[in-house]
Structure 1
Amino acid sequence: MQAMERMTKSGRIGTGHGAGFGAKAARLAAAVVLAVVLTGAGQPAHANPFDPVITVNGRVITQYEMEQRRRFMEILRQPGDLDDMARSSLIEDRLRMAAAKEAGLAISPDQVMAGMTEFASRANLSAEEFIKLTGEMGLDAESFRDFVEAGVLWREVVRAKFAGKVSITEAEINRAIANFQPTGAVKLNLLEIVLPAAGTDQSGAMALARKLQAQIKTEADFAAAARDYGGGATGWTRLSDLPEAARAALERQAPGAMSRPVALEDKVVLYWLSERGEDPISGTPEAWLDYAQYLVPEGANAEAELAAARARIDTCDDLYTVAKGQPADRVIRESQPQSAVGGDVGAVLATLDAGESSTRISRDGWRVLLMLCSRGPAPDLVPNRDIIREQLLNQRLSSLADIYLEELRSEAIITEE
C-alpha cells in the first residue's frame, strides 16, 4: 500500500500508452491510492456482460471490458469522466492492435510480462504484487495484461514506423542540458553483493555474479545472497558518489530490480535498487561551463587556420578531429563552475551560446579558438547525454504517435450498440 501511495506522489503511472508505456500517462497525471473503495457506480446494467457495446473496424468491445477499464481507472484515481475515458482508451487499444497486425508485428509472452513488471515497478511492486493488490479491488489480471499488451505492441509499431526517420542532434542535446532545471540530486536506496576479484582475472567472480543473477528473483533473495557472499544494505547513496561503472549500470535501473554485474578494480558487484529519490537542492544551483580551447600558432597563416577549423566544427568533440596528428596540448577541454572561469576566457564565454566559438583571444604566441560546449547545472545533477538523447527521441516519437493514432481513429468505422 505504501509503495503505491509513493507512486501517487511521483505521478509515474497512468492508463495511456503514447509512444511507449507512459506517453499519455503524463497527460492524465494520475494518482494511485489503493485504499479507495470501489463501488462501480455509474455503470449501465446489461443482461450479459459480454454483450458487445462498441465495434471498431469489426473488432468488438464488450460491456465487461468497459467495466474493467473503468475499474482500472478508478483504482488509479484518474480525474475526469471515467466512462468516456474508458470508452476512448479501449477504442484506441483496438486501433493499436490492428495497426500492429497490419504491420506484421507480434510480441512474446515474455515481452508482455516484462511490460507488466515495468508498469508495476513504478509503484515499487512486482507484477505479482500489483496483480494481487488490484485483483482484491476487482481488476482481473487478464484486463491488466490486455492493457499492457496493447501498449507494448504500440511501442513496437511506432518504433518500426518512425524510429529511422527521427534523429536527435548534438545541438538539441546541448540545448536540453542548458535548459535543464534540476530539482535535486538523484539518490538510490541500494543493497549490494560484493564478490572479491583481486588481480587481472575477474572471470570467476563474473561467472558467479551471472549465476546469482539467474537465481535471484526478489529483494529477499538478494538480501540472503548478500549475507552469504558479502555485502548488504548501503542505504541511500547519491548516484554521483558511485564509481562510474556503477553509475552507468544504475542510471536507468527501475526500482525493484537487480543491476547487471559491475566490474570494479578489485571486485565484482551486483546492486539491487529498492527505491529512487532526490536530495532537494536549496536555491538556484550555479551554472557550470564545459568549454574547449584550440591553440593555433600566431603567424601569417593563423587566421586561415582558425577559419578552416571553425568551418569544420559543430561541437567541441569535432575539435579533436581538427587537431588529429597534432600535440595533445593543442586542445584543452575543461568543465568547471562559472564563477571559477575568469579573465579573458570567462569574458568571452559569457557572450557565447552552446556550440558557438570565438577567435578573439591571443595568448603567449598562440591564437585561441574558444568554444562553449555547454552551459548548465553541475554534471552530477544532469542525466548523461545518452539518456537525454533517448528522452528527446521518445518525446518526438510520442508526438508522431499521437498524430498517427488520430489518423487511424479518423479513418476507423466505429459503431455503438
Structure 2
Amino acid sequence: MVRPAGKMMVLALIALVGFGAPVGAGPFTPVKIVNDQVITQFELDQRILFMQILRQPGDLQQAAMNTLVDDRLRMSAAKQFGLKLSPEQLKAGMEEFSSRANLTAEQFVQAIGQAGVQPETFRDFVEAGLVWREIIRGKFAPTVSVSDAQIDRALANGRPMAALKVRLAEIVIPAVGAGRTAALQKADHLRLLLRGGEDFAALARQNSSAPSASRGGSMDWMLLTALKPDAAKAVRSLSAGQVSAPVVLDDSVVIYQMQEQKQEMLEPSKAIVVDYAAFLVPDDGVSAANLRAKVDTCNDLYAQAKGLPADRLIRETVPQAQLPRDLAGPLALLDAGESSTSVTRGGWRVFLMLCRRGPAENEMPSRDEVKIQLTNQILGAQADIYLEELRTEAMIRTP
C-alpha cells in the first residue's frame, strides 16, 4: 500500500510535469558521444522528465546533459576499476532514495512511471551515484587523514553542526553465561547465510529475540551516538544493505544491517551554546597582553586567577541568545582559543576568551562522527577534482 503523504507529494510533482515525450529527434538519435559511448535523445528526454519530478532548478536541458555525461564517466571509471554493484546494493540504494519521498522503491517507480519515466532511468541514476561513491572511497579514503587537532577545532568551533542518524535492522541472539559461545556460532552461521544471499528480514523473523523481529528486524531512526560504543563502531562504516560482523553486547550477540543513514543538521537557534571566559585585568595596556602570552586555552586561565577574588574570572556556558550584550558581539568574531580585549567593565579591561561554540554537550556529535564528516568533506573535494580530470581527458562530442 502506497504511503499517502509520499504518494500525494510525487503525484503533485507529476501534475506539474505533464505527460508526453518532448517533440524533437527520434528516441534513439545520438545527442552526445562520451569516449565512444552514446547518449541518446531518449535518455536525455528521460533525464529531463526525472529532474522535473525532482523539481531541479535551472536549465534542465543543459543540466540533464551534464549529469548524463558525468554518469558515463563515472560508469567508465567503475569498469576500469572492476567495480560492479551487487543486486542487493543497488536495491538498497533505490530504497534509500525513494524513502526521501516516504515511498518504497516499487512505489516510487510506479509514481514516476505515471509521468513516463522508465524504471531503468531511475535505476541508472542511482547506480551511477553508488558506484562513484565506492570509487572515491577506494581511491582516496586510504590517503585521507584527519588529525586530532582538526577534530578538536571542529568540535570547539561548532563545526560541523550535524549528527549522523542511522536506520538499522537487527538480529539479536541471546548470549547469557555459557550460552555465549553457542550464540556466536549461530551469529557466524547467519552471517554466512546472508553473504550467500539470504534475506535479512526473513532471517530476523526466524532467529531474532528482539521485539523488532516481527518487522524483519527493522529499527527506528536513531543517532549513531545512541548505540553502545561497540555497536556504533561496527556499523558506522557500513553502506546501505551491508551487514556488520557479530557484535557482542552485555547479554546478546547482534548482527546489524545498515538500511539508511543521513546527516541531520542541528537547529542553530536551539542547539548552539557558547562556553566563554571573562577575566578582569587592570586597564593599563600591559596586563592583557601579558596574560595573552601566558595562556592558550580557557583552562590555562585558572592558574593565572589563583589567589584572586572569585569575581575576577567568570567561566560559563550559556545559549548563544542569552549572552551578555556587551560580550555577544566580540565573542561572535572569535574562534575557540582566541581572545578579545575590546570590552571594559567597572574600570577593568575584560580579557575575553572563547572556549567552545557548538551544540549542547548532550547533542554534541562524537569525535568519530566529526572525523567521518571531515573525511567526507575532504573526499567530496577530491571527487570533484577527479571528475573534472575525467572530463578533461575524455573525448566528448556532439554528433
| TM-score bin, normalised by smaller chain | 0.5 to 0.7
- Match 1:44 to one of 23, 33, 53: 23
- Match 1:385 to one of 367, 376, 391: 367
Distance 1:96 1:189 in 2: 28
Determine what percentage of the aligned residue pairs are the same residue: 40
Asked if structure 2 preserves the Cα contact closer than 8 Å seen for 1:117 and 1:126, the reply is no
Deviations 1:254-284 (A, max 9, x none): 7888765432122224567788797979734
- Match 1:224 to one of 205, 212, 216: 205
- Match 1:59 to one of 22, 31, 37: 37
Distance 1:285 1:182 in 2: 12
Compared CA separation, residues 109 and 400, structure 1 to 2 (3 A): closer
- Match 1:263 to one of 248, 254, 258: 248
Offset of residue 223 of structure 1: 6.9
Amino acid at match of 1:283: K
Report the TM-score, using the length of structure 1 for normalisation: 0.59
Distance 2:136 2:69 in 1: 18
Distance 1:169 1:4 in 2: 44
SS in 2 for 1:36: helix
Distance 2:383 2:58 in 1: 23
- Match 2:230 to one of 245, 251, 261: 245
Compared CA separation, residues 288 and 128, structure 1 to 2 (3 A): farther
Deviations 1:353-412 (A, max 9, x none): 7699xxxxxxxxxxxxxxx99775455423333332232222222223323333443454
Match for residue 308 of structure 1? Answer: none
Offset of residue 73 of structure 1: 1.4
Compared CA separation, residues 149 and 2, structure 1 to 2 (3 A): same
SS in 1 for 2:13: coil
Is residue 33 of structure 1 aligned with residue 10 of structure 2?
yes
Distance 1:212 1:345 in 2: 60
- Match 2:149 to one of 171, 176, 182: 171
Compared CA separation, residues 33 and 341, structure 1 to 2 (3 A): farther
SS in 1 for 2:65: helix
Offset of residue 78 of structure 1: 1.7
Offset of residue 206 of structure 1: 2.5
Match for residue 208 of structure 1? Answer: 186
Compared CA separation, residues 341 and 255, structure 1 to 2 (3 A): farther
Compared CA separation, residues 156 and 193, structure 1 to 2 (3 A): closer
* Equivalent residue runs for 1:131-170 within 5 Å: 131=109, 133-135=111-113, 137-159=115-137, 162-163=140-141, 165-170=143-148
- Match 1:397 to one of 352, 355, 379: 379
Q: Pick the structure with more helix per residue.
A: 2
Offset of residue 89 of structure 1: 0.8
Offset of residue 175 of structure 1: 1.7
Amino acid at match of 2:10: V
Asked if structure 1 preserves the Cα contact closer than 8 Å seen for 2:242 and 2:257, the reply is yes
Distance 2:377 2:221 in 1: 30
Compared CA separation, residues 78 and 55, structure 1 to 2 (3 A): same
Match for residue 320 of structure 2? Answer: none
SS in 2 for 1:54: strand
Compared CA separation, residues 2 and 175, structure 1 to 2 (3 A): farther
Deviations 1:182-238 (A, max 9, x none): 87887777776543211266231133334455467365x477347x73533886766
SS in 1 for 2:32: strand
Offset of residue 68 of structure 1: 1.9
Is residue 69 of structure 1 aligned with residue 44 of structure 2?
no
Q: Which runs of 5+ in 2 are unaligned?
A: 277-297, 306-312, 317-330, 339-353
Compared CA separation, residues 114 and 97, structure 1 to 2 (3 A): same
- Match 1:78 to one of 56, 69, 72: 56
SS in 2 for 1:202: helix
Offset of residue 62 of structure 1: 0.5
Number of residue-to-residue matches in the alignment: 327
Report the TM-score, using the length of structure 2 for normalisation: 0.61
Compared CA separation, residues 349 and 162, structure 1 to 2 (3 A): farther
Deviations 1:275-311 (A, max 9, x none): 879797973454579xxxxxxxxxxxxxxxxxxxxxx
Asked if structure 2 preserves the Cα contact closer than 8 Å seen for 1:54 and 1:61, the reply is yes
Offset of residue 50 of structure 1: 1.1
SS in 1 for 2:31: strand
Offset of residue 159 of structure 1: 4.6
RMSD: 5.0
Match for residue 28 of structure 1? Answer: none
Compared CA separation, residues 262 and 152, structure 1 to 2 (3 A): same
Offset of residue 88 of structure 1: 1.1
Offset of residue 117 of structure 1: 1.5
Distance 2:77 2:257 in 1: 38
Distance 1:381 1:73 in 2: 36
Amino acid at match of 1:154: W
Asked if structure 1 preserves the Cα contact closer than 8 Å seen for 2:225 and 2:232, the reply is yes
Asked if structure 2 preserves the Cα contact closer than 8 Å seen for 1:72 and 1:139, the reply is yes
- Match 2:81 to one of 85, 105, 108: 105
